[in-house]
């Protein structure tokens, strides 16, 4: 138990440069919310629904993070700051990072049948501030959801999604060794208020690189002009 807790705290410290010690991380609202959810989820699975909801409401009061007791959460979930909503049928994998004001929301089927209403978040996904991921969709492994994006369709592995409705950018999430919570900039110096401009600049640079590669391939495959003239 102690080793698991230390590993969890170290996983957060690896993703957040702010804390100076593990003790400081223990004060994070996200850590408390996840811990209380483990208890609420255990009660929920035991069909002690009232007690599970009681723990859920206590957690929401203390942390401003609302995780339904029925949601399934993997290892090392890092919730940075509060005001998070995670629905009943949501499924979250390992090493997922969620920033503030995110909703993993559900749909309201017209036939009245509940079923799987909330998203499935695979391992190593990063969800930026203010993003809304809605419905029984799947966000595949290693994907990134940009700030304030609204995602209503499945997200492919390693994709970076931005906009309303969210769409994949031309920049693969795997191209970066680190991440930022408010978008995917081309440079380290980045202002969240210029997110759209920065993303467009990323796409232009990516297109230029692809165009240069295509020109090089065309030139390499074409016959030598001098040779044609001498012949």
- Residue 153 is predicted with a pLDDT of 92
CA distance 13 to 15: 5
Domain count, the chain: 1
Evaluate whether residue 76 is within a structural domain: yes
Task: Note the pLDDT tens digit of each residue in 5-18.
Answer: 898 998 998 888 88
Taking the whole predicted model, whether its pTM rises above 0.75 is answered as no
pLDDT at 223 over 80: no
Least confident of 83-97, 109-123, 138-152: 109-123
Write the CATH number for 15.
2.160.10.10
CA distance 226 to 231: 9
Task: Note the pLDDT tens digit of each residue in 44-81.
Answer: 999 999 999 999 999 999 999 999 999 999 999 999 88
- Residue 209 is predicted with a pLDDT of 74
Answer whether the bond into residue 220 is a cis peptide, omega within 30°: no
Evaluate whether residue 170 is within a structural domain: yes
Residue at token pair 């991380």: 25
Evaluate whether residue 201 is within a structural domain: no
Evaluate whether residue 195 is within a structural domain: no
């Amino acid at each position: 138990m102690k080793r698991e807790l230390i590993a969890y705290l170290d996983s957060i410290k690896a993703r957040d440069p702010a804390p100076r010690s593990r003790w400081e991380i223990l004060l994070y609202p996200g850590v408390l919310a996840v811990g209380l959810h483990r208890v609420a989820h255990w009660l929920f699975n035991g069909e002690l629904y009232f007690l599970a909801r009681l723990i859920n409401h206590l957690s929401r009061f203390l942390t401003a993070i609302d995780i339904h007791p029925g949601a399934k959460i993997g290892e090392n979930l890092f919730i940075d700051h509060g005001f998070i909503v995670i629905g009943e049928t949501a499924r979250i994998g390992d090493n997922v990072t969620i920033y503030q004001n995110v909703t993993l929301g559900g749909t309201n089927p017209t036939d009245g049948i509940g079923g799987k209403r909330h998203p499935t978040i695979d391992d190593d996904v990063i969800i930026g501030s203010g993003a809304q991921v809605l419905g029984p969709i799947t966000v595949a492994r290693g994907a990134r959801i940009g700030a304030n994006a609204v995602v209503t369709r499945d997200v492919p592995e390693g994709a970076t999604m931005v906009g309303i409705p969210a769409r994949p950018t031309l920049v693969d999430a795997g191209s970066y060794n680190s991440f930022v919570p408010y978008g995917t900039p081309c440079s380290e110096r980045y202002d969240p208020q210029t997110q759209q401009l920065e993303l467009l600049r990323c796409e232009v640079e990516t297109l230029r690189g692809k165009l240069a590669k295509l020109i090089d391939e065309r030139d390499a495959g074409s016959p030598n002009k001098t040779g044609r003239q001498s012949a």
